Amino acid sequence: MTKQIAIALMTVAFLSSATNAMSKTPVERIVTPKGIEIWLVRDEKLPMLSLQFSFLGGASQDPAEKPGVASLAASLLDEGAGPYDARAYREQLEENAIEISFAANRDSVRGSLKTLVDNRAKAFELLKVALTAPRFDEIERVRAATLATLRRNSTNPSELAKDRWYARAFPDHPYGRPVLGTLDSMPNISADDLRAYVGKNLARSNLKIAAVGAIDPDTLAKLVDESFGALPEKAALAPVPDAVPQGLGARDVVPLNVPQTVIVYGGAGLKRSDPDFIPAYVLNHILGGGSFESRLFKEVREKRGLSYSVYSTLVALKHAGLFMGAVQTKNDRAFESLDIINSEIERIAKSGPTADELDKAKKYLIGSYPLRFDTSAKIATNLLDIQFDELGLDYIDKRNAEIEAVTAVDIRRVAKRFLAGAQMLVVMVGEPVAAPAKAAKQ
């Protein structure tokens, strides 16, 4: 059976069984003999295993003068390791229908593994060498690909606006540096930099693991210890201070010859650990997170046709809570779109939602929650997110009750915390045209 056929069959089958796994099978907390914690959902219906894992740190641990180290290292972990060069490693994955991948974000390096149960020993062997003995032979090829992406991003208004926003919001903080690196930093990253990063950041002390599939706890614990147990016990993470976004109230226009302006806006929000996060989550759904039902969508797209898409979101980083959003519109309607967004933020901060809006938002957020668990990978990813955010083993059981308990009073309280009178840092990339001043009446 080829890898493609095997993965396709596994994916289709999991669509019908993964949700049942969450509703009927409890999440088991396992601690291996080497002290590694795993959250496991057992599902014996299908002969496969899906694993998601993360190491706290991510791009926030990049050297200040070399942003992009974490991202480049993650990209190279599965490009040859141990006795396998890049081609041989990929052949081993292909021949055994195994998927292994890595990626970095601001707060973590994350990885995933998917395998048939019969091939689990080989899968964990390949995972072990990727984590503990990456070769970095392909650094120049992957560097070239990354530089090509960075060049494309340098003329991509969405990427420019996002990176510019973080740079302005966090000028002296790791969050202000682009995760992918820069055209200046990428050529200066060496294989020694990557080895140093992996040695300091990939360890058991900052590791979280979630697993879903046909495997018993003892077998999984043994496999995890064989792969992850070879890592250092303690990570050598540099401290990252908590931060709040800077430059609030400023508008930064980046000229770019494109027909539409991309606007990224944002300010202070709430961390995931904040007791008011769930009410804020419901509030944001009503404002700009609910797609076709959100106020921003209705006012900006439906009523005025200013943009195909507009949204707001809560970004809960480990060391900062943010309220952010974006819209893309014609250059001559950019300031109008921004004014409407600001008006809607002010309106909901002042008056809160209607009873109908609150009722619909809660029903949607509760009713759609099972869709997050309709595949093995989604289940494992959500379990990992819950671990990473330190929400507790019982979060899946209590989450909907917390949303149902949100009241209009709660919404108005959190709206006053981070929306009432809020100053936003706004980055506009394009050629926005201000509306002409209206002539005074004679």
Q: Strand pairing partners for 252?
A: 427
Q: What percent of the chain is modeled with pLDDT above 90?
A: 90
Q: Cβ distance 141 to 73 under 8 Å?
A: no
> How far is the C-alpha of 423 from the C-alpha of 426, rounded, in Å?
9
Q: Is the pLDDT assigned to residue 437 strictly greater than 70?
A: no
CA distances from 63 to 70, 173, 177, 318 (A): 9, 11, 10, 18
Q: What is the pLDDT of residues 174-224, one digit of tens each?
A: 999 999 999 999 999 999 999 999 999 999 999 999 999 999 999 999 999
Whether this prediction's pTM lies above 0.85 is answered by yes
Task: Quickly tell me which residue has 């990339």 as its tokens.
Answer: 429
Q: Which of 342, 343, 353 is nearest to 294 (CA)?
A: 353
Beta-ladder partners of 412: none
Tens digit of each residue's pLDDT (9 = 90 or more) over 354-390: 999 999 999 999 999 999 999 999 999 999 999 999 9
Could you tell me the two tokens for 91? Answer: 């052949």
85-129 pLDDT tens trace: 999 999 999 999 999 999 999 999 999 999 999 999 999 999 999
- With a CB cutoff of 8 Å and minimum separation 6, the contacts of 393 are 27, 29, 39
* Spatial distance between the Cα atoms of 384 and 409, rounded to a whole number of angstroms: 32
Residue intervals of the chain classified under CATH 3.30.830.10 are 3-228, 251-430
For the domain spanning 3-228, the CATH number is: 3.30.830.10
The DSSP code for 272 is T
User: For residue 173, what is the DSSP state?
Assistant: S
What architecture is domain 251-430?
A: 2-Layer Sandwich (3.30)
Higher pLDDT, 15 or 218: 218
**Residues in the chain, total:** 442
- Give the Cα separation of 32 and 7 in Å (integer): 28
User: pLDDT per residue over 277-323, tens digit each?
Assistant: 999 999 999 999 977 889 999 999 999 999 999 999 999 999 999 99
Q: Is 127 within 8 Å of 50 (Cβ atoms)?
A: no
Task: Locate 107 and state its tokens.
Answer: 């707060």
**Tally of CB atoms within 10 A around 288:** 27
The tokens of 217 are what?
Answer: 């706890």
CB 297 within 8 A of CB 264: no
What is the predicted pLDDT for the residue at 435?
A: 57
**Angle of the 395-404 helix axis to the 277-284 helix axis, nearest 10:** 60
> Scanning the structure block, which residue is given the tokens 């009241």?
407
Give the three-class secondary structure for 317.
coil
Whether the Cβ atoms of residue 104 and residue 59 lie closer than 8 Å to each other: yes
